[in-house]
Structure 1
Amino acid sequence: MSIATMLPMGDLTNPGQMRLALVQVVNWGTFHGAHTMHVDRNGTLLTGNSGVGKSTL
């Protein structure tokens, strides 16, 4: 199944591109348990101290 059959074309800003909207990780790197991060359409900035998982994402 292609992305075109999964999403209505009206939902895409440009049908030739895809946009990341959500990141979900479970027991990944320094993240223990389930974590969800929504990605804003205008951009998302990851900040934090060393060792908290920025590069893991």
Structure 2
Amino acid sequence: MKNQFLNLGKTLNKVEQQEIYGGKPSERRCDRLLRRAERYLDNGNLNGADRVLDTYDRIC
């Protein structure tokens, strides 16, 4: 139980997601990340888009 609380704020990588969810990452989450990156780009925030796309690459 203690280990679960330590990982609450941690972004899960692909292997950890597969262990927990039993397969690939959620398509819905990947779609949300791409839409968020597009919003950042539309607003001219390249740093925000890069951060979101880095997360996308790590997870999806």
User: Is TM (by shorter chain) over 0.5?
Assistant: no
From the two aligned structures, give the one with the greater strand fraction: 1
Return the structure number with greater relative CO, CA threshold 8 A, min gap 6.
Answer: 2
Larger Rg computed on CA atoms: 1
Using structure 2 for the length normalisation, give the TM-score.
0.25
From the two aligned structures, give the one with the greater helix fraction: 2
